[in-house]
Amino acid sequence: MDSTDAVINLIHLADMPGTSGHSVSVRVLGRFQPGILTGHDFLECEIVIEAEPVNGNFSVTLLPEDLEDWEDVLTTLESGRFAMWLTSGRTPSVKFKPDESGGLWVSVHDGPSSAVTVTVPLFAPPPKWVTEQRDLLAQAREVYPREVVETSPGAYEWRRARNA
């Protein structure tokens, strides 16, 4: 499988096995417009919620800046504070609310499309869940590295030589 065809998790938050079975994931499906300078580094993704009796998918296109924002959100969450991700209004937004018992409440709000909000309680996330999310982010950046640079407003070029 070519790395540009790899489906990987950017985020995977789930209760430990044997608990609720709830999970929230962001799966990277591929590049938005592979080989086209202005869309190559955008990632086509889906937010997947699994929480009986509700399961849902929300399509989202992530910009390179969204990955940088996710890294900042992880720093906030590591300190046990509330955080929001994807707040531009162009995509569904995600809220993360840690609670005193070590649980995490994750809400996905699809404002741009359906106006639906789904909140998933994760009562028993693994103890090192933030570290696991950092590892997934690093993997996503390795599989889908930034390959385009904006040299001036509206002017783009390949960061390095691409294989044909």
pLDDT tens, position by position, 88-127:
999 999 999 999 999 999 999 999 899 999 999 999 898 8
Average pLDDT of the segment spanning 127-150: 96
* pLDDT for position 1: 37
DSSP 64: H
* pLDDT for position 5: 66
Q: Which amino acid is at 136?
A: L
Provide the residue ranges of all domains of the chain, joining segments of one domain with +. 3-158
pLDDT tens string 58-72? 999 999 999 999 999
What's the pLDDT band for 52 if we cut at 50, 70, 90?
Answer: confident
What is the distance, to the nearest Å, from the Cα of residue 129 to the centroid of all Cα atoms in its chain?
14
* pLDDT for position 17: 73
Please check the confidence at residue 164 and state whether its pLDDT lies above 70. Answer: no
pLDDT tens string 2-51? 445 689 999 999 988 777 889 999 999 999 999 999 999 999 999 999 99
pTM: 0.90
Q: Which long-range contacts (CB under 8 A, 24 or more apart) does 121-129 make?
A: 121/20, 121/22, 122/13, 122/14, 122/15, 122/20, 122/22, 122/23, 122/24, 123/15, 123/19, 123/20, 123/22, 124/15, 124/16, 124/19, 124/20, 125/13, 125/14, 125/15, 125/16, 126/16, 129/13, 129/104
* pLDDT for position 2: 45
Query: In the CATH scheme, what architecture does the domain 3-158 have?
Result: Roll (2.30)
Please check the confidence at residue 160 and state whether its pLDDT lies above 90. Answer: no
